C-alpha cells in the first residue's frame, strides 16, 4: 500500500534521516515519538506538502514522490483540523467530493452515510465555530473519509481534546475503522493512542525511525536503551551477568533470559511492588530499600528508592502511600518478577 524508502529532510529545526517503513492495506500504523522528533515533517512529505531532500514515496507500487498533494489521492487531517469556517458542516464534508465533480445525489448519499457513522448527522447545518473540539474532530475525519482515500494521514488527531473527549473518540475510532474499513498512518506522542489503536508502531527519536513492529512487541521488547527509556523503562540496572543472574552493587537479580558479561536490564516503575514486610510472592527478585523521596502526581505517586546503591523508581497509588506511611527515610521491601525485566 504505502512504502516510504530512505527519506531524509532538513527542515527548520527538524532533521529526518533515512526513514524507511511500509503501511499495509487495512492497517492502522502509528508513528510514535516525542515533540520535535520530526513526525509531522514526515507526514507532510508523504502528503506531498514538503519535498524530501532524498528518498522516495510509493503508493500501491507507484512512485508519487514528485506528485503534488492533489494527485496522490491521500486524505490529510492536520492537528488544527483546518475546517472552512465560512462553510456549513455539510459543505465542509462534501468539499472533496465537489472538487472531484461527484454527482449531487451521490454527494448527498456519501455525506449522510459518513455523518451517521461518525455521529454528526445532526450537526450538518452548523458552522465549525459553533462546534466543540470533539465535534470539529469528527467533521475533519468525515471530510477526509468521505472521499474514500487509499490512506488517511492523521497528525496528532486527539492532541487538542480534553481527557474525557479523547478517551471517547479513541473507543469510537476503532468502530469507525471497522465500519468504514480505512487504512491510517497516525502520528502521535501518546502511548495510549498507540496501544489503543495501533496494529504496528514505529518509534521515532531524533529524526530516525529506530524500531518498527507490532505494538505489544515494541512496548515489551524495546530495541535499545534509548527506546526503552522513551517507552517508560525508567529503571536501568547495569551489572555483570552469568547465565540468568545479574550481579549489580552486591545485589543478585534473576533475569528472564541467559546473558554473559556486562549488560543492562530495564524495568518499568509500575512493575515494582513496594511492601512494609517481605513480599513472599511469585516475584523472583526481592530486596530491602530505603525511600529517598516521593513525588505526588495526582492519584499516583512516584517513589524514589535506594536498594543497595541501585536507584529505582516505583509507582503506587496515593492511598497506598498514606496507608503505608511512605516518606523519605522509610525502610521498605521492593519486589519484581524476572519476566518484567528487559535485557539489553
Residue finishing a domain among 205, 227, 249: 227
Whats the size of the chain, residue-wise? 344
Residues 248, 198, single domain; the answer is no
Tell me the three cell numbers of residue 243.
547465565
185 in the same domain as 122: yes
Question: Does 173 share its domain with 32?
Answer: yes
Q: What is the extent of the structural domain holding 305?
A: 232-343
Q: Using the 3D structure, point to which of 183, 205, 227 is the last residue of a domain.
A: 227
Weakest-pLDDT range from 63-72, 160-169, 188-197, 257-266: 160-169
pLDDT-above-70 percentage for the chain = 99
C-alpha cell at 306: 535506594
User: For the chain, how big is the Rg over CA atoms in Å?
Assistant: 24
**Alpha carbon distance 144, 38 (integer Å):** 23
Q: For 298-320, how does the pLDDT look when each residue is reduced to its tens digit (9 = 90+)?
A: 889 999 999 999 999 999 999 99
Q: What is the pLDDT of residues 38-74, one digit of tens each?
A: 999 999 999 999 999 999 999 999 999 999 999 999 9
pLDDT for 101 equals 93
Domain boundary among 199, 227, 255: 227
Closest alpha carbon to 2 in 41, 42, 36:
42
Same domain for 218 and 259?
no
End-to-end CA distance of the chain: 34
144 in the same domain as 97: yes
pTM: predicted TM-score of the whole model, two decimal places: 0.85
Query: Which grid cell is 144?
Result: 477526509
- Alpha-carbon gap, residue 189 to 267, rounded angstroms: 21
Contacts of 11 (CB under 8 A, 6+ apart): 38, 41, 50
DSSP letters, 244-299, are: EEEEETTEEEEEEEEEEEEEEEEE-GGG-EEESS---SS-SEEEEEEEEEEEEETT
Query: Which parts of the chain are beta strand (E)?
Result: 2-11, 14-23, 28-32, 54-59, 62-63, 75-77, 152-155, 184-188, 200-205, 208-214, 235-248, 251-267, 273-275, 285-297, 300-307, 310-317, 331-336, 342-343
pLDDT at residue 83 in the model? 94
Please enumerate in sequence order all residues whose Cβ is within 8 A of that of 259, keeping only pairs 6 or more positions apart, or say none: 241, 243, 244, 246, 343
- How far is the C-alpha of 96 from the C-alpha of 142, rounded, in Å? 11
Residue 267 · residue 237 · CB < 8 Å = yes
Q: In this predicted structure, which of 49-53, 169-173, 236-240, 326-330 has the lowest mean pLDDT?
A: 169-173
pLDDT of 281 over the 80 cut: no
Across the strands, what pairs with 214? 200
Same domain, 40 and 189: yes
Q: Say yes or no to pLDDT of 282 above 70.
A: no
Q: What percent of the chain has pLDDT over 90?
A: 84
Is 102 in the same domain as 116? yes
- Residue with the bigger pLDDT between 213 and 165: it is 213
For residue 284, what pLDDT is reported? 77
CA 167 to CA 158: how far, in whole Å? Answer: 9
Query: Are 146 and 256 within one domain?
Result: no
Pairing of strands 273-275, 310-317: unpaired
Quick one: 212 and 253 in the same domain? no
Q: Are 207 and 64 contained in the same domain?
A: yes
pLDDT tens digits along 115-137 = 999 999 999 999 999 999 999 99
Task: Tell me the β-bridge partners of 301.
Answer: 296, 316
Looking at per-residue pLDDT, the higher value among 252 and 281 belongs to 252
pLDDT tens digits, one per residue of 72-88: 999 999 988 999 999 99
Per-residue pLDDT tens digits for 206-234? 999 999 999 999 998 899 999 999 998 99
Q: What is the CATH number of the domain that holds 294?
A: 2.40.50.100
Domains contained in the chain, number: 2
Residues 211 and 237 in one domain: no
218 and 74, same structural domain?
yes
C-alpha cell at 27: 492497517
The CATH number for 217's domain is 3.40.50.300
> Is the pLDDT assigned to residue 325 strictly greater than 80?
yes
The rounded mean pLDDT for the chain is 93
Query: Could you tell me which residues come within 8 angstroms of residue 90 by beta carbon, excluding any fewer than 6 positions away?
Result: 111, 124, 125
Q: Grade residue 163 by pLDDT with cuts at 50, 70 and 90.
A: confident
pLDDT in tens, 22-43: 999 999 999 999 988 999 999 9
Predicted confidence band of residue 283 (pLDDT cuts 50, 70, 90): low
How high is the pLDDT of residue 161?
A: 86
Amino acid at each position: 500500500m504505502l512504502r516510504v524508502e530512505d527519506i531524509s529532510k532538513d527542515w527548520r529545526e527538524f532533521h529526518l534521516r533515512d526513514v524507511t517503513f511500509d503501511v499495509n492495506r487495512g492497517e492502522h500504523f502509528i508513528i510514535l515519538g516525542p515533540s520535535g522528533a520530526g513526525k509531522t515533517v514526515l507526514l507532510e512529505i508523504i502528503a506531498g506538502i514538503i519535498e524530501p531532500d532524498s528518498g522516495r514515496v510509493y503508493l500501491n507500487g507507484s512512485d508519487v514522490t514528485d506528485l503534488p498533494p492533489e494527485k496522490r489521492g491521500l486524505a490529510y487531517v492536520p492537528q488544527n483540523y483546518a475546517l472552512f469556517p465560512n462553510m456549513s458542516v455539510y459543505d465542509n464534508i462534501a468539499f472533496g467530493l465537489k472538487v472531484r465533480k461527484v454527482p449531487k445525489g451521490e454527494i448527498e448519499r456519501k455525506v449522510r452515510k459518513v455523518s451517521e457513522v461518525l455521529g454528526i448527522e445532526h450537526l450538518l447545518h452548523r458552522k465549525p465555530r459553533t462546534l466543540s473540539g470533539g465535534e470539529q474532530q469528527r467533521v475533519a475525519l468525515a471530510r477526509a473519509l468521505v472521499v474514500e482515500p487509499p490512506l488517511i494521514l492523521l497528525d496528532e488527531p486527539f492532541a487538542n481534546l480534553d481527557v474525557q473527549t479523547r478517551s471517547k473518540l479513541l473507543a469510537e475510532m476503532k468502530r469507525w475503522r471497522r465500519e468504514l474499513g480505512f487504512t491510517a498512518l497516525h502520528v502521535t506522542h501518546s502511548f495510549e493512542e498507540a496501544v489503543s489503536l495501533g496494529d504496528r508502531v514505529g518509534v521515532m527519536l531524533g529524526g530516525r525511525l529506530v524500531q518498527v513492529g507490532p505494538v505489544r512487541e515494541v512496548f515489551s521488547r524495546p530495541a535499545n536503551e534509548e527506546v526503552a527509556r522513551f517507552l517508560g523503562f525508567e529503571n536501568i540496572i547495569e551489572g555483570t551477568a552469568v547465565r540468568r543472574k545479574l550481579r549489580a552493587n552486591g545485589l543478585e537479580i534473576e533475569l528472564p533470559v541467559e546473558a554473559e558479561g556486562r549488560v543492562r536490564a530495564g524495568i518499568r516503575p509500575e512493575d515494582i511492588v513496594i511492601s512494609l514486610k517481605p513480599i513472599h510472592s511469585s516475584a523472583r527478585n526481592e530486596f530491602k530499600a530505603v525511600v529517598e523521596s516521593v513525588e505526588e502526581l495526582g492519584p499516583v505517586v512516584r517513589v524514589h528508592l535506594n536498594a543497595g546503591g541501585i536507584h529505582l523508581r516505583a509507582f503506587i497509588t496515593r492511598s497506598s502511600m498514606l496507608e503505608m506511611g511512605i516518606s523519605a527515610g522509610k525502610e521498605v521491601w521492593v519486589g519484581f518478577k524476572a519476566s518484567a525485566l528487559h535485557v539489553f
